[in-house]
Structure 1
Amino acid sequence: MKRYRVLHMSFDTRATILNTQIEENWEEDTASLWKENKKTITQGLFHEYGGINFEAKLAYFKEFGPMPFSIIAYHNNFFKNIRDSYVIGSFYPALTAACSLGERILNQLILSLREDFKATPQYKDVYSKKSFDNWDKVIATLESWNVLLAEVVTLFFELKDLRNFSIHFNPETDRLDKELALKAITLLKEIISLQFGIGNQPWFIHSIPGVIYVKKEAEEWPFVKKVIIPNCVLVGYLHKLEHDGSWFKVVDDHEYDDREVTDDEFKELLASR
């Protein structure tokens, strides 16, 4: 009767707000609110990154764009470190960090999930190692286990090629560090948004406005069980959320029938509240 609802997630849309153009035809109150929000964000960034070369830092922050909207997983803190490097103009560290974080995500997925795939032919190649630097093998293994989405597989191969170009000595990197860093960051953003994001992924119930629930059949999928569900709360269709001052807490003291319902039936129960 219950389903897992995604509750713990990470996002930062300050760059989106800063990059939004205030149009002349906006209502005065709306335009004033946006101007005030932009001013508040800018002041916050000044204190966060310091006043030296602040105009350049602000431009790089806007150029970096929003952080990917995702559940809390293997990447959130380190991805923020990458943004910090980019914003202060340390483009090569941001580039190498983005490539390294991609490899780290692959490693953590393999190490976290491999015991669930002991019966597969690929297990013998990954069961004993503590880390992996062969991207081709790791990506192919995770693809064969249906862990990585098809689009994510393609993006990881693109990031691998960029990593090899950037990490192995190449004179062109000296003048392309900013361009390459932004490309690596963009690829990693897409990977995180697709694999760890909240949207049309096959493990979520779709067509429920404003909230995300895990499909019943997906609850036992290794990636969902070990990465998605730890960011969820198990709730019935009559639950509600209350803000406790810092985040939301679940209020769900209802007694539900002791029976299973399909995902479509669960959606109908939600709609009937």
Structure 2
Amino acid sequence: MKRYRILPFFDFDMRCMLLSEPIKEEWAEQVKAMHWQNRENTIKYLKAEYGELLADVKIQNFIDLGPKPISVIAFHNTFFSQVRNAFVVEAYYPALTGVCALGERILNHLVLSLRENFKTSPEYKKVYRKDSFDDWSLAIETLDAWDVLLPKAAKDFRVLMKKRHQAIHFRPEIDMNARELALEAIKCMQGIISEQFSGFGSQPWFITGVPGEIYIKREWESNPFIRLIYLKNGLLVGPRHKIESFQPQIQILDPDHLKPGSDISDDEFVSLRKTFNNSE
């Protein structure tokens, strides 16, 4: 009967949209004024956050990064924020090497955390003795074989691997285009996060039929990656649950207490949930 609902405690930053989205002439004057005020407030906050010196450059860097992808809370969020901050303040090479190191850390975390679930796989014997991995190809191919990485995420990891080799091994051209390379690498990581760790979207493990709400499909609940990342960010609830409050702690009213073993399909859950929401 119940499904894991992914709660809206996501890591994201869409402020660049306020700075880059054009204010259209056909908008009502009140709407234009509101957008201008929001833009000014955002610039003021960014100057306070990153400093007044060379503020125009920092703001442009912030815009060029694009939105920070909506991600469930996992083991990459804090360090990725630091990478983005380094880029904004023109620390391009630290941003470049930092995002590459973060990519390697994510691969290590996934392999080390999940490998005990794949003891019977051919890949297990290649990774079971190691405490860390600097061979990106081995880690990516292993996770790919275990069906942990979605195809686009695996592709982006391979692109990031090449950028890591360019950044770490001495190449004189890095001195001249560190900003460009850092931005490309960060965009690559943002693609990985959007695909593999997203808080919503068309990922195969999501039930998306309830507007504004995300649930995990029943068939994916036993998946090792989903257990590691998503179930920690969710609550097991029935179709008639109601979130009473988020602060100071989550309080949920859930009247669905059926006998153990009773179950419904994902489609039936969606139908019951939509009916309940429409009745509220």
| Normalised-by-shorter TM-score class | over 0.9
Instruction: Provide the C-alpha distance between the structure 1 equivalents of 2:47 and 2:170, rounded to a whole number of angstroms.
Output: 35
Matched residue, 1:158:
159
Q: Deviations over 1:192-225 (max 9, x none)?
A: 1000012111111133221110000100000001
How does 1:7-26 map onto structure 2 within 5 Å?
7=7, 8-26=9-27
What are the superposed Cα offsets for residues 228-254 of structure 1, whole Å, 9 maximum, x if unpaired?
1101111111122344457x8342231
Is the 1:75–1:105 contact (alpha carbons within 8 Å) kept by the matching residues of 2? yes
The answer (yes or no) to whether the contact 2:244–2:253 under 8 Å persists in 1 is: no
- 1:205 is aligned to 207
Q: Does 1:220 align with 2:222?
A: yes
Aligned match of 1:270 in 266, 270, 273?
Answer: 273
The correspondence for 1:260, drawn from 257, 260, 263, is 263
Of all paired residues, the percent bearing the same amino acid is 44
The answer (yes or no) to whether the contact 2:19–2:63 under 8 Å persists in 1 is yes
- Counterpart residue number, 2:52: 51
1:112-163 deviations in Å (ceiling 9; x for gaps): 1111111111111111211100011100000010000011111111111111
Corresponding residue for 2:233? 231
Q: Which residue of 2 aligns with 1:109?
A: 110
Distance (whole Å) between structure 1 residues aligned to residue 33 and residue 5 of structure 2: 36
| d(CA) in 2 for partners of 1:207, 1:262 | 13
Write the distance in 2 (CA, Å) between the matches of 1:225 and 1:253.
22
- Cα gap change, 1:165/1:53 in structure 2, threshold over 3 Å: closer, same or farther? same
Q: CA separation in 1, counterparts of 2:126 and 2:100?
A: 23
Say if 1:238 and 1:254, in contact at 8 Å, map to a contact too.
yes
When structure 1 is superposed on structure 2, of 263-272 and 236-245 the one drifting more is 236-245
Partner of 2:5: 5
Q: How many residues align?
A: 272
Identify the residue that residue 39 of structure 2 maps to in structure 1: 38
Counterpart Cα distance in 1 of 2:6 and 2:251:
12
Which stretch shows the higher mean deviation, 88-97 or 235-244? 235-244
Larger displacement relative to structure 2 (40-49 or 186-195): 40-49
C-alpha contact 1:6 1:231 (8 A) present in aligned 2: yes
Unaligned runs of 5+ in 2: none
Q: Within 1, Cα distance between the matches of 2:93 and 2:256?
A: 56
Change (3 A) 1:56 1:242: farther
The one-letter code sitting in structure 2 at the alignment partner of 1:6 is: I
CA positional deviation for 1:52 = 1.2
State how far apart, in whole Å, the 2-side matches of 1:164 and 1:255 are: 53
Distance 1:239 1:44 in 2: 38
Measured in 2, the distance between the counterparts of 1:17 and 1:192 equals 22
CA distance in 2 between counterparts of 1:261 and 1:109 reads: 31
Report the counterpart of residue 70 of structure 1 in structure 2. 71
TM-fit CA distance, 1:15: 1.0
Task: Using structure 1 for the length normalisation, give the TM-score.
Answer: 0.96
User: What's the counterpart of residue 183 of structure 1?
Assistant: 184
